Amino acid sequence: YPPKFDWRDHGIVGPVRNQESCGGCWAFSVVEAIETVSAKDGGKLQQLSVQQVIDCSYENEGCNGGSPVGALDWLAQTKLKLVNEAEYPFKDMAGICQYFPQSHTGVAVRNYSAYDFSGQEEVMMSVLVESGPLVVIVDAISWQDYLGGIIQHHCSSHNANHAVLITGYDTTGEVPYWIVRNSWGTSWGDNGYAYIKIGNDMCGIADNVAAVFL
Protein backbone atom coordinates (compact mmCIF):
# COMPACT_ATOMS: atom_id res chain seq x y z
CA TYR A 1 0.00 0.00 0.00
CA PRO A 2 1.19 3.54 -0.67
CA PRO A 3 2.77 5.70 2.07
CA LYS A 4 0.12 8.32 1.41
CA PHE A 5 -3.45 7.77 0.24
CA ASP A 6 -6.69 9.76 0.24
CA TRP A 7 -9.95 8.84 -1.49
CA ARG A 8 -10.49 12.60 -2.02
CA ASP A 9 -7.66 12.50 -4.56
CA HIS A 10 -9.77 10.07 -6.59
CA GLY A 11 -12.61 12.60 -6.75
CA ILE A 12 -15.09 10.31 -5.02
CA VAL A 13 -15.58 12.00 -1.65
CA GLY A 14 -18.46 14.44 -1.34
CA PRO A 15 -18.45 17.79 0.46
CA VAL A 16 -18.38 17.95 4.26
CA ARG A 17 -21.88 17.91 5.71
CA ASN A 18 -23.31 19.58 8.79
CA GLN A 19 -25.44 17.50 11.14
CA GLU A 20 -26.53 20.77 12.84
CA SER A 21 -28.32 20.04 16.12
CA CYS A 22 -29.13 16.45 15.15
CA GLY A 23 -27.17 13.75 16.98
CA GLY A 24 -27.07 11.64 13.85
CA CYS A 25 -23.32 11.20 13.33
CA TRP A 26 -23.94 7.44 13.15
CA ALA A 27 -26.11 7.92 10.03
CA PHE A 28 -23.88 10.55 8.41
CA SER A 29 -20.77 8.38 8.63
CA VAL A 30 -22.53 5.35 7.16
CA VAL A 31 -24.17 7.23 4.27
CA GLU A 32 -20.91 9.02 3.42
CA ALA A 33 -19.08 5.67 3.26
CA ILE A 34 -21.75 4.25 0.95
CA GLU A 35 -21.53 7.30 -1.35
CA THR A 36 -17.80 6.86 -1.87
CA VAL A 37 -17.83 3.07 -2.21
CA SER A 38 -20.66 3.38 -4.75
CA ALA A 39 -18.54 5.80 -6.82
CA LYS A 40 -15.45 3.61 -6.36
CA ASP A 41 -17.40 0.65 -7.74
CA GLY A 42 -18.26 2.53 -10.92
CA GLY A 43 -21.30 4.57 -9.98
CA LYS A 44 -21.36 8.33 -10.06
CA LEU A 45 -20.62 10.27 -6.90
CA GLN A 46 -23.95 11.43 -5.53
CA GLN A 47 -25.20 12.62 -2.17
CA LEU A 48 -27.47 10.00 -0.66
CA SER A 49 -30.16 10.57 1.93
CA VAL A 50 -29.00 10.68 5.55
CA GLN A 51 -32.56 11.52 6.57
CA GLN A 52 -33.77 8.19 5.19
CA VAL A 53 -31.41 6.34 7.53
CA ILE A 54 -32.31 8.58 10.49
CA ASP A 55 -36.05 8.09 9.95
CA CYS A 56 -36.13 4.44 8.92
CA SER A 57 -33.39 2.66 10.91
CA TYR A 58 -35.86 1.74 13.64
CA GLU A 59 -33.38 0.16 16.05
CA ASN A 60 -31.49 3.42 16.29
CA GLU A 61 -32.75 6.59 17.90
CA GLY A 62 -32.76 9.11 15.07
CA CYS A 63 -31.27 12.43 16.11
CA ASN A 64 -30.83 11.17 19.68
CA GLY A 65 -28.09 8.74 18.68
CA GLY A 66 -27.40 5.36 17.21
CA SER A 67 -24.93 2.73 16.15
CA PRO A 68 -23.22 2.85 12.73
CA VAL A 69 -22.78 -0.93 12.80
CA GLY A 70 -26.44 -1.32 13.72
CA ALA A 71 -27.37 0.87 10.74
CA LEU A 72 -25.11 -1.11 8.39
CA ASP A 73 -26.57 -4.36 9.65
CA TRP A 74 -30.09 -3.08 9.04
CA LEU A 75 -29.17 -1.83 5.53
CA ALA A 76 -27.51 -5.13 4.63
CA GLN A 77 -30.43 -7.19 5.89
CA THR A 78 -33.26 -5.15 4.40
CA LYS A 79 -31.41 -4.28 1.15
CA LEU A 80 -33.16 -0.95 1.42
CA LYS A 81 -32.06 1.37 -1.37
CA LEU A 82 -30.74 4.71 -0.23
CA VAL A 83 -32.27 7.42 -2.39
CA ASN A 84 -30.73 10.69 -3.46
CA GLU A 85 -30.40 13.47 -0.86
CA ALA A 86 -32.57 15.74 -3.03
CA GLU A 87 -35.43 13.24 -2.91
CA TYR A 88 -35.31 12.86 0.87
CA PRO A 89 -33.50 15.94 2.24
CA PHE A 90 -32.01 16.41 5.70
CA LYS A 91 -34.40 18.12 8.13
CA ASP A 92 -32.31 18.33 11.33
CA MET A 93 -34.88 16.20 13.14
CA ALA A 94 -36.20 12.67 12.94
CA GLY A 95 -39.51 12.10 11.19
CA ILE A 96 -41.74 9.40 9.78
CA CYS A 97 -39.97 6.92 7.50
CA GLN A 98 -40.78 7.66 3.87
CA TYR A 99 -41.25 4.55 1.76
CA PHE A 100 -39.86 4.13 -1.77
CA PRO A 101 -40.65 1.05 -3.89
CA GLN A 102 -37.76 -1.36 -4.58
CA SER A 103 -37.99 -0.35 -8.26
CA HIS A 104 -36.92 3.18 -7.26
CA THR A 105 -33.34 4.15 -8.11
CA GLY A 106 -30.99 3.93 -5.16
CA VAL A 107 -27.92 2.30 -3.62
CA ALA A 108 -28.20 -0.86 -1.51
CA VAL A 109 -25.62 -2.35 0.87
CA ARG A 110 -24.59 -5.93 0.04
CA ASN A 111 -22.49 -6.53 3.11
CA TYR A 112 -20.24 -4.87 5.67
CA SER A 113 -17.44 -5.78 8.05
CA ALA A 114 -16.74 -4.46 11.54
CA TYR A 115 -13.50 -5.23 13.37
CA ASP A 116 -11.23 -4.09 16.16
CA PHE A 117 -7.93 -3.09 14.55
CA SER A 118 -6.20 -1.86 17.69
CA GLY A 119 -2.50 -2.68 17.42
CA GLN A 120 -2.95 -3.27 13.67
CA GLU A 121 -3.27 0.23 12.22
CA GLU A 122 -0.93 -0.66 9.34
CA VAL A 123 -3.32 -3.42 8.34
CA MET A 124 -6.15 -0.90 8.65
CA MET A 125 -4.40 1.30 6.05
CA SER A 126 -4.38 -1.61 3.64
CA VAL A 127 -8.08 -2.25 4.24
CA LEU A 128 -8.83 1.43 3.58
CA VAL A 129 -7.02 1.28 0.23
CA GLU A 130 -8.69 -1.98 -0.77
CA SER A 131 -12.21 -1.46 0.53
CA GLY A 132 -12.84 2.28 0.65
CA PRO A 133 -13.35 4.81 3.44
CA LEU A 134 -13.78 3.36 6.93
CA VAL A 135 -16.52 4.21 9.42
CA VAL A 136 -14.97 4.55 12.88
CA ILE A 137 -16.19 5.55 16.33
CA VAL A 138 -13.87 7.81 18.29
CA ASP A 139 -13.67 9.60 21.60
CA ALA A 140 -14.34 13.17 20.46
CA ILE A 141 -14.56 14.91 23.85
CA SER A 142 -11.55 17.14 23.07
CA TRP A 143 -12.82 17.83 19.57
CA GLN A 144 -15.09 20.53 21.00
CA ASP A 145 -12.15 22.92 20.76
CA TYR A 146 -10.24 21.47 17.78
CA LEU A 147 -9.06 23.90 15.07
CA GLY A 148 -6.60 21.80 13.03
CA GLY A 149 -3.28 19.97 13.20
CA ILE A 150 -2.56 16.36 14.13
CA ILE A 151 -4.22 15.14 17.32
CA GLN A 152 -1.52 13.39 19.36
CA HIS A 153 -2.61 13.98 22.96
CA HIS A 154 -5.72 14.50 25.08
CA CYS A 155 -7.74 11.79 23.37
CA SER A 156 -8.57 8.57 25.20
CA SER A 157 -9.23 5.24 23.57
CA HIS A 158 -11.81 4.02 26.06
CA ASN A 159 -14.76 6.30 25.58
CA ALA A 160 -15.97 6.05 21.97
CA ASN A 161 -18.86 8.40 21.36
CA HIS A 162 -18.74 9.91 17.86
CA ALA A 163 -18.91 8.31 14.40
CA VAL A 164 -16.78 9.71 11.57
CA LEU A 165 -15.29 8.58 8.27
CA ILE A 166 -11.59 7.94 7.55
CA THR A 167 -10.93 8.93 3.94
CA GLY A 168 -7.16 8.51 3.90
CA TYR A 169 -3.82 8.61 5.67
CA ASP A 170 -0.36 10.12 5.31
CA THR A 171 2.79 8.47 6.66
CA THR A 172 5.31 10.60 4.77
CA GLY A 173 5.90 13.21 7.49
CA GLU A 174 7.37 13.13 10.96
CA VAL A 175 3.99 12.22 12.45
CA PRO A 176 1.88 9.75 10.43
CA TYR A 177 -1.82 10.53 10.56
CA TRP A 178 -5.31 9.49 9.56
CA ILE A 179 -7.43 11.90 7.51
CA VAL A 180 -10.88 12.06 9.09
CA ARG A 181 -14.02 13.54 7.60
CA ASN A 182 -16.40 14.91 10.24
CA SER A 183 -20.02 16.04 9.89
CA TRP A 184 -19.90 19.31 11.83
CA GLY A 185 -19.65 21.62 8.80
CA THR A 186 -16.64 23.16 7.10
CA SER A 187 -16.10 25.82 9.77
CA TRP A 188 -15.00 23.12 12.23
CA GLY A 189 -11.42 21.75 12.20
CA ASP A 190 -9.54 21.94 8.92
CA ASN A 191 -12.42 22.64 6.52
CA GLY A 192 -14.42 19.99 8.33
CA TYR A 193 -11.58 17.46 8.56
CA ALA A 194 -9.45 16.29 11.48
CA TYR A 195 -6.08 14.55 11.53
CA ILE A 196 -5.27 11.85 14.07
CA LYS A 197 -1.88 10.32 14.76
CA ILE A 198 -1.49 6.75 13.52
CA GLY A 199 -0.06 4.11 15.80
CA ASN A 200 -1.37 4.50 19.32
CA ASP A 201 -5.08 3.88 18.80
CA MET A 202 -5.43 7.61 19.35
CA CYS A 203 -9.04 8.55 20.23
CA GLY A 204 -9.86 4.83 19.93
CA ILE A 205 -9.83 5.19 16.16
CA ALA A 206 -8.94 1.53 15.58
CA ASP A 207 -11.32 -0.02 18.12
CA ASN A 208 -14.46 -0.12 16.02
CA VAL A 209 -13.84 0.01 12.28
CA ALA A 210 -16.45 -0.75 9.65
CA ALA A 211 -16.11 -1.16 5.88
CA VAL A 212 -18.99 -1.24 3.39
CA PHE A 213 -19.44 -3.57 0.40
CA LEU A 214 -22.01 -2.78 -2.29
Partner 1 sequence: ENNEHYQRRIHFQNSLKRQAFLNSALKRSDQSARYGINQFSDLSPQQFKERYLTARTETAPKFDPSRTGIQVKMN
Are the beta carbons of 126 and 117 closer than 8 angstroms? no
Are the beta carbons of 22 and 61 closer than 8 angstroms? no
Which of the stretches 8-16, 33-41, 43-51, 180-188 binds partner 1 when contact is defined by CB under 8 A? Answer: 180-188
Least spacing, CB of residue 132 vs partner 1, in Å: 11
Please report how many Cα atoms fall inside a 13 Å half-sphere around the Cα of residue 23, on the Cβ side.
10
Are the beta carbons of 21 and 8 closer than 8 angstroms? no
Mask 150-169, x = binds partner 1 (CB under 8 A)? Answer: xxxxx-----xxxx------
Q: Which of 52, 57, 67, 167 touches partner 1 by CB under 8 A?
A: 67
Does residue 36 interact with partner 1 by CB under 8 A? no
Does residue 187 interact with partner 1 by CB under 8 A? yes
How distant is the alpha carbon of residue 131 from its chain centre? Answer: 13
Residues 87-116 that bind partner 1 (CB under 8 A): 113-116
Distance CA 109, CA 73 (A): 9
Is residue 104 flagged as an active site residue?
no
Least spacing, CB of residue 117 vs partner 1, in Å: 5
Does residue 146 interact with partner 1 by CB under 8 A? yes
Is residue 191 flagged as an active site residue?
no
Are the beta carbons of 111 and 76 closer than 8 angstroms? yes
Query: 162-170 and 134-138 as β-strands: parallel, antiparallel, unpaired?
Result: antiparallel
Residue 99, SS3 per DSSP? coil
Q: Which residues pair with 178 in a beta bridge?
A: 169, 196
Selecting among 18, 22, 25, 63, the annotated active-site residue is 25
Q: Which of 140, 165, 179, 205 touches partner 1 by CB under 8 A?
A: 140
Q: Which residues pair with 184 in a beta bridge?
A: 18
Contacts with partner 1 by CB under 8 A lie at 1, 19, 21, 23-26, 60, 64-70, 113-118, 120, 122-124, 126-127, 129-131, 137, 140-142, 144-154, 160-163, 173-175, 184-185, 187-188, 195, 207-211
